[in-house]
Amino acid sequence: MAQHRRVVIAVWILLTLACGLSYPILDARLQAPDLTVDHAESVRVDRLLGEHFPELGAEQSVIVYHSPTLTVDAPDYRGAVDRSLTTARSIADVRVLTGPVSSGPVTTISADRHTAFSVVGIDGTMAQRIAVAKQLQSDLRTAATRDVDVALTGYSAIQSDMITVERADAQRAETIGIPVAFALLAVGLGALVAAGIPILTAVAGLLLCIGALLVITVFRPLDPLALSTATMVGTGVGIDYAMFVVARFREQLRSEHVADRTDRTKITAAVGVSLDTAGKMVLASGVIVVISLCALVVVPAPVFRAITIGVSTSVVAAMLVATTLLPAVLAELGPAVNRGRLPRRVHDRPADPANRWGRWAHLVMRRPVVFALGALTLLLLAAAPGVDMRYGFDIGLPALHGTPSGRAAASIAADFAPGLLSPIDVIATGPNDTPLDATESAAAHRYVQQLAGDARIATTLTRESGGRVMVSVVPAVPVDSTAATDLVRELRERAHAVSDNGVKVSVGGTTAALVEMSDVITARLPWVIGLVLASSLIFLTLVFRSVVLPLKAIVMNLFATGAALGITVAVFQWGYGESVFGFQSPGFLQVFLPITVFAILFGLSMDYEVFLIRRIKENWDAADSQSDRTNRDSVATGIQQTAGPITAAAVIMVVVFGSFLTADVLELKQLGFALAVAIAIDAVVIRLLLVPSLLRLLGHWNWWFPGDGSATGKRLDHSAATASRATPSP
Dump pLDDT digits (tens) for 576-625: 999 999 998 988 888 888 888 888 887 777 777 777 887 787 788 777 66
Q: What gap in Å lies between CA 52 and CA 662, rounded to an integer?
A: 46
118 in a structural domain: yes
Of 508, 534, 550, at which residue does a domain stop? 508
Q: What gap in Å lies between CA 143 and CA 118, rounded to an integer?
A: 14
Whether residue 361 sits in one domain with residue 214: yes
- pLDDT tens string 23-70: 999 988 888 778 889 989 998 998 898 899 988 888 889 999 999 999
Residue 254 confidence (pLDDT) above 70: yes
Angle (nearest 5°) at CA 247 between 245 and 249: 70
Q: What gap in Å lies between CA 438 and CA 26, rounded to an integer?
A: 53
Residue 117 confidence (pLDDT) above 80: yes
Whether residue 695 sits in one domain with residue 718: yes
- In this structure, the chain runs to a length of 730
399 in a structural domain: no
Cα torsion angle, 469, 470, 476, 478, sign: positive
What is the average pLDDT across 673-701? 89
Q: Kindly report which listed range (97-106, 115-124, 659-668) carries the lowest average pLDDT score.
A: 97-106
Tell me, what CATH number does 434's domain have?
3.30.70.360
Residue 136 confidence (pLDDT) above 90: yes
Q: Kindly report which listed range (112-116, 440-444, 590-594) carries the lowest average pLDDT score.
A: 590-594
At 535, the amino acid letter reads S
Neighbours of 85 (CB within 10 A): 17
Whether residue 99 sits in one domain with residue 139: yes
Q: Which residue has the higher pLDDT, 107 or 197?
A: 197
407 in a structural domain: no
Q: What gap in Å lies between CA 433 and CA 430, rounded to an integer?
A: 5
Residue 349 confidence (pLDDT) above 60: no
Tell me which DSSP letter residue 3 carries: T
Residue 710 confidence (pLDDT) above 60: no
The alpha carbons of the chain give a radius of gyration, in whole angstroms, of 30
Q: What gap in Å lies between CA 542 and CA 281, rounded to an integer?
A: 13
Q: What gap in Å lies between CA 234 and CA 242, rounded to an integer?
A: 12
Q: What gap in Å lies between CA 331 and CA 5, rounded to an integer?
A: 7
What is the average pLDDT across 671-685? 90
Residue 328, CB-side half-sphere exposure with 13 Å CA sphere = 17
- pLDDT tens string 274-310: 999 889 888 988 988 898 888 999 999 998 999 999 9
Q: Is 57 left (phi over 0), alpha (psi -120 to 50) or beta?
A: left
Beta bridge partners, 63, equal 118, 152
pLDDT score recorded for residue 715: 40
Tell me, what CATH number does 117's domain have?
3.30.70.1320
Q: What gap in Å lies between CA 158 and CA 407, rounded to an integer?
A: 10
Q: What gap in Å lies between CA 195 and CA 338, rounded to an integer?
A: 9
pLDDT score recorded for residue 720: 39
Alpha carbon 506 to its chain's center: 32
Cβ proximity of 479 and 60 under 8 Å: no
What is the average pLDDT across 151-175? 90
The model's confidence at residue 107, banded by pLDDT at 50, 70 and 90, is confident
Cβ proximity of 297 and 618 under 8 Å: no
What is the average pLDDT across 133-142? 93
What is the average pLDDT across 393-409? 89
Cα separation values, 242 from 199, 238, 716, Å: 8, 6, 24
Cβ proximity of 310 and 227 under 8 Å: yes
The model's confidence at residue 712, banded by pLDDT at 50, 70 and 90, is very low
Q: Kindly report which listed range (5-14, 53-62, 485-494) carries the lowest average pLDDT score.
A: 53-62
Residue 150 confidence (pLDDT) above 80: yes
Of 473, 508, 543, at which residue does a domain stop? 508
Q: Kindly report which listed range (201-205, 233-237, 580-584, 589-593) carries the lowest average pLDDT score.
A: 589-593
Whether residue 335 sits in one domain with residue 202: yes
pLDDT score recorded for residue 138: 94
What is the average pLDDT across 672-692? 90
Whether residue 621 sits in one domain with residue 522: yes
The model's confidence at residue 728, banded by pLDDT at 50, 70 and 90, is very low
Cβ proximity of 448 and 471 under 8 Å: yes
Whether residue 290 sits in one domain with residue 262: yes
245 in a structural domain: yes
Whether residue 327 sits in one domain with residue 238: yes
The model's confidence at residue 344, banded by pLDDT at 50, 70 and 90, is low
Residue 718 confidence (pLDDT) above 70: no
What is the average pLDDT across 240-253? 90
123 in a structural domain: yes
pLDDT score recorded for residue 439: 87
What's the 3-state SS for 376-443? HHHHHHHHHHHHHCCEECCCCHHHHCCCHHHHHHHHHHHHCCHHHHCCEEEEEECHHHCCCCHHHHHH
Cβ proximity of 227 and 31 under 8 Å: no
Alpha helices in 222-263 (DSSP H): 224-255
Q: Which residue has the higher pLDDT, 257 or 327?
A: 327
Q: What gap in Å lies between CA 305 and CA 518, rounded to an integer?
A: 16
The model's confidence at residue 726, banded by pLDDT at 50, 70 and 90, is very low
Q: Which residue has the higher pLDDT, 185 or 712?
A: 185
What's the 3-state SS for 556-576? HHHHHHHHHHHHHHHHHHCCC
Q: What gap in Å lies between CA 379 and CA 368, rounded to an integer?
A: 16
Q: Kindly report which listed range (24-33, 226-235, 370-379, 660-669) carries the lowest average pLDDT score.
A: 24-33
Neighbours of 624 (CB within 10 A): 5
Most confident of 290-299, 352-361, 370-379, 706-715: 370-379
What is the average pLDDT across 261-273? 92
Q: What gap in Å lies between CA 701 and CA 548, rounded to an integer?
A: 7
Q: What gap in Å lies between CA 238 and CA 282, rounded to an integer?
A: 10
Q: What gap in Å lies between CA 93 and CA 66, rounded to an integer?
A: 25
Residue 277, class by beta-carbon neighbours within 10 Å (0-12 exposed, 13-18 middle, 19+ buried)? Answer: buried
Q: Model-level pTM?
A: 0.83
Alpha helices in 256-275 (DSSP H): 264-274
At 682, the amino acid letter reads D
479 in a structural domain: yes
pLDDT score recorded for residue 105: 65
Whether residue 245 sits in one domain with residue 140: no
Tell me which DSSP letter residue 340 carries: S
The proportion of the chain whose per-residue pLDDT surpasses 70, expressed as a percent, equals 94
Whether residue 685 sits in one domain with residue 564: yes
What is the average pLDDT across 150-169? 90
263 in a structural domain: yes
φ, ψ (nearest 5 deg) of residue 339: -70, 160
φ, ψ (nearest 5 deg) of residue 453: 90, -10
Residue 729 confidence (pLDDT) above 80: no
303 in a structural domain: yes
Beta bridge partners, 424, equal 473
What is the average pLDDT across 65-83? 95
pLDDT score recorded for residue 564: 92
Residue 267 confidence (pLDDT) above 90: yes
Average pLDDT for the chain: 87
Residue 721 confidence (pLDDT) above 60: no
pLDDT score recorded for residue 722: 40
Residue 325: domain span: 161-342+355-394+515-726
Q: What is the domain count for the chain?
A: 3
Of 121, 153, 185, at which residue does a domain stop? 153
Cβ proximity of 118 and 61 under 8 Å: no
Whether residue 629 sits in one domain with residue 530: yes
What is the average pLDDT across 440-467? 88
Q: 264-274 and 224-255 are packed helices; what angle lies between their axes, rounded to 10 degrees?
A: 130
Whether residue 170 sits in one domain with residue 245: yes
Whether residue 219 sits in one domain with residue 95: no
Beta bridge partners, 265, equal none
What is the average pLDDT across 711-720? 40
The model's confidence at residue 516, banded by pLDDT at 50, 70 and 90, is very high
The proportion of the chain whose per-residue pLDDT surpasses 90, expressed as a percent, equals 45
The model's confidence at residue 354, banded by pLDDT at 50, 70 and 90, is low
